[in-house]
């Protein structure tokens, strides 16, 4: 009899630990979405779906407080399925955010290289023009000096 009671309690505790609480799932989903935004991406569609799931969770709490356990359970199940679907889509959004961030860094580096190259060419060109001008001025002075001696 004691063994049966132990097995029943173990089964209940295992089934409870296998399915996390809806609020725990929502915190995890929020944390994952925050990671997307910290990576430089945006996911407004996923945020609105998380908000919808949170609204369902709040409605379930209200229903449970009013004594409607069956409708509260249905709303929690609906919120759980929305959050699980959302959690399955978040890794793709995270990967896209990382790719967009990398692209922005690459564009910035390429722009900096282009600007440095352009400035180098402009400086070299202006230096060459200055040297040419100085040479022409020197030759002009020599020619004028020879003409005055004659």
For residue 10, the model assigns a pLDDT of 54
The pLDDT score that the predictor gives to residue 17 is: 46
Give the pLDDT of residue 145: 55
Please report the pLDDT score of residue 40 as a whole number.
Answer: 83
CA distance 25 to 53: 11
pLDDT of residue 146: 60
pLDDT (0 to 100) of residue 122: 96
pTM metric for this prediction = 0.62
CB-based contacts of 79, cutoff 8 Å, min separation 6? 22, 26, 53, 54, 56, 57, 60
**Do residues 44 and 105 lie in contact, with contact meaning Cβ atoms separated by under 8 Å?**
no
| Residues of the chain scoring pLDDT < 70 | 1-19, 142-150
Give the per-residue pLDDT at 5. Answer: 40
> Interhelix angle for 22-38 vs 69-149, to 10°?
10
Q: Compute and round to an integer the Cα radius of gyration of the chain.
A: 36
């Amino acid at each position: 009899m004691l063994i049966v009671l132990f097995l029943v309690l173990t089964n209940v505790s295992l089934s409870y630990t296998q399915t996390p609480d809806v609020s725990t799932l929502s915190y995890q989903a929020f944390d994952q979405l925050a990671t997307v935004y910290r990576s430089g991406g945006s996911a407004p569609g996923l945020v609105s779906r998380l908000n919808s799931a949170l609204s369902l969770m709040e409605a379930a709490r209200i229903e449970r407080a009013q004594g409607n356990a069956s409708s509260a359970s249905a709303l929690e199940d609906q919120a759980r399925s929305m959050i699980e679907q959302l959690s399955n889509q978040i890794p793709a959004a995270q990967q896209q955010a990382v790719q967009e961030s990398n692209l922005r860094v690459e564009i910035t580096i390429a722009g900096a290289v282009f600007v440095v190259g352009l400035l180098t060419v402009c400086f070299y060109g202006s230096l060459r023009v200055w040297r040419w001008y100085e040479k022409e001025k020197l030759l002009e002075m020599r020619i004028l000096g020879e003409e005055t001696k004659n």
